[in-house]
A and B are shown apart, each in its own frame.
Chain A
Amino acid sequence: MKPEPNDVILHTVSKLTAVIIFTFSIDLFWAGHHFPGGGFIGGLTTAAGIVLLYLSFDIERIQTNLPIDYKKLAALGVLISVSTGLAGMIYGDNFLEQTFGYFDLPLFGKTELATAVLFDIGVALAVIGTAVTIITSISEDGL
């Protein structure tokens, strides 16, 4: 039997970096409305973090800890994005019409809230779902 490879360093480092990557991806996501960033790039970074975990541990272990069907996640993302587009039509505006307002929230103070964020959440989910699905299906073929 092959000896178990000693990958303590790999595991420790990738656990740490995964946290940093996820945090950074959330930061990118929120930056999206006025600065470079947004749902697409945030989702892509999140997918990179997930793929890093897949690489350093193994697919089964990550699947038991993160039991997500990424195909369904992608479909859900598209559905969220399309339905935020539909919301504008309920108010008699064009499809994909967006709006924003300023609210006084506890802790955050005066905050701008935009409906575009909802659309972006859909985009992020779709990107995460698609990217991870592509990479896992490529890795399955190799075996």
Chain B
Amino acid sequence: MNNLLIWPVILPLIAGMLFILLRNKIHLQRVLSVVVLAVVTGISIVLMNQIQANGIQTLQLGGWQAPFGIGLVADMFSILLVLTTSIVAFCCVVFSFKIIGKDRENHYFYSLVLFLITGINGSFLTGDLFNLYVFFEVLLLASYVLVSLGGKKVQLRETMKYVIINVLSSAFFLVGIAYMYSITGTLSLAHISVRIAEVGQDGFITTVAILFILVFGMKAGLFLFYWLPGSYSVPPAAVSALFAALLTKVGIYAIMRMFTLVFYHEPGITHLFIGILAAITMILGGIGAIGYWDINKILTYNVIIGAGFILAGFAAFTDSGTLGSIYYLIHDMIVKALIFLIGGVVVYLTGTTNLKEMSGLIRNHPYLGWMFFIAALSLIGIPPLSGFIGKVFITKGTFEAGYYWLGAIGLIASLLILYSVMKIFMNAFWGETVLSEEEEKGTTKGVMIPIALLTILTIALGIGPEFINAYVETAVESLMNPQTYIDAVFAGNDIP
């Protein structure tokens, strides 16, 4: 029992509800949301060290013991993601102060962001399949409103697509849960794992597993991503940065959790299937990224390539592949938020998303330009930035597993990423300066701090991976040995 576990979930919830009661106190809302996210970051660091010292932490809500109660479970993998989520959300909220505008602030913007964080942290921490569904719905509901908030025509069009595809995938998720319950008679993840290990993973269970791949794949932007570029590029920069950095990662987390804890018996079928989907995703995402001249579109296609690449490492299902996936997941959350925020500033300054209409921003905004350059290099995986270490381990993992084609496609996708972000850099920052400072549509005042913070993080993560290496290795260890998770949940009780 560790009551600290509940705070990352309920603290944003309480604050969000308070903001509804104090609707007009915008200044208080700003301060409080930053404080809440900072506190959650602090709690995650404390929890991370507790897990490193004492193993997986659990909290059985209301004192009902597993498998009857519905509990929260934090292993190193979850808590690393909770920590990164809080940091990224912190930066995005600070960024939004300047840019988001009075209208959105008056319409519960900060509440919605905090509800989104509630859902994300809840999904990372829950130990129950149905609760995973519930937290998915919490974050989806918040995201529906965040996409449509503002009410422009294009936003409503993309919201419709986004809502329909997600309602559909949620329905499939429920069907999958129903199958799971009828097969195993339980919804606690640890208990499902025990039961499936007892009876063996037969063809029927593998089919259900593939249903789960499709459901989570839809959320992660894996293969079935056609809704993603539209709905991620219409909301304002702070929101699309949050989405790009966090939402697809929840789907990836769910895949990694389910396919290490529950469906780990048939990697030749399920994990290979994930690998094939990842390969197709990287190819199609890469084509999208080099094909467009719209800065938002290019960046959202990079999100898709990222999702494919992370799952390519996981599909290998070796220690180094998973290690690389976790490194790359953390890196991707930080650097995607960073590059979306910079993209948002560029659009804000020039008033257009078309690359052909912008040029030479670096003369007036050297810091912004060079930080974009760093973010781009980090995205591609140039040492010593944070993308490098993940990329190395993912490639190593795919080669170890004998999936040479998958590793090769991953490397080719990196080249496509290189081309697409360099296209943005050359067109937007290089070249003749067409806009003087007075002609720009906005200023960079007040938005540089979160961008600088994220840039420092991506450099720090690249230069000093040994600071977090011990933690990431613990995460891999507990992911690859589901028994540690099960033991922590049941804590010595009889398993019925």
- Tell me, yes or no, whether B435 is within 8 Å of chain A by CB: no
- In the complex, A82→B13 CA distance in Å? 9
- In the complex, A93→B62 CA distance in Å? 8
Contact yes or no, B62 A78, CB < 8 A: no
Interface string of A89-132 (1 = CB under 8 A from B): 10001111110000000000000000000000000000000000
Range, interface on chain A? 10 to 19
B63's contact among A75, A76, A94, by CB below 8 Å, is which?
A: A94
Interface string of B33-75 (1 = CB under 8 A from A): 0000000000000000000000000011111000000000000
Residue of A nearest to B13 (CB): A82
- Tell me, yes or no, whether B199 is within 8 Å of chain A by CB: no
A89's contact among B3, B13, B14, by CB below 8 Å, is which?
A: B3
Separation in Å of the B491 CB from the closest CB of chain A? 13
The main secondary structure of chain B at its interface with chain A is: helix
- Tell me, yes or no, whether B10 is within 8 Å of chain A by CB: yes
- In the complex, A72→B21 CA distance in Å? 5
Interface string of A60-97 (1 = CB under 8 A from B): 00000000000110111011001101101100011111
Contact yes or no, B20 A95, CB < 8 A: no
How many contacts A-B (CB < 8 Å)?
Answer: 46
Which residues of B are found within 8 Å of A94, using beta-carbon distances?
A: 1, 3, 59-63
Interface string of B300-313 (1 = CB under 8 A from A): 00000000000000
Separation in Å of the B231 CB from the closest CB of chain A? 23
Separation in Å of the A40 CB from the closest CB of chain B? 14
Interface residues of A in 26-80 (CB under 8 A from B): 71-72, 74-76, 78-79
Contact yes or no, B6 A79, CB < 8 A: no
Which residues of A are found within 8 Å of B59, using beta-carbon distances?
A: 94-95
Residue of B nearest to A126 (CB): B17
Given A82-B14, A85-B10, does the pair A72, B61 have CB atoms closer than 8 Å? no
Contact yes or no, B13 A78, CB < 8 A: yes
Contact yes or no, B13 A95, CB < 8 A: no
- In the complex, A71→B22 CA distance in Å? 11
Which residues of A are found within 8 Å of B20, using beta-carbon distances?
A: 71-72, 74-75
Which residues of A are found within 8 Å of B60, using beta-carbon distances?
A: 94
Residue of A nearest to B3 (CB): A89
Which residues of A are found within 8 Å of B63, using beta-carbon distances?
A: 93-94, 97
Interface string of B256-290 (1 = CB under 8 A from A): 00000000000000000000000000000000000
- In the complex, A74→B63 CA distance in Å? 27
Given A94-B1, A95-B3, A95-B6, does the pair A79, B62 have CB atoms closer than 8 Å? no
Residue of B nearest to A94 (CB): B63
Separation in Å of the B12 CB from the closest CB of chain A? 11
Separation in Å of the A101 CB from the closest CB of chain B? 17
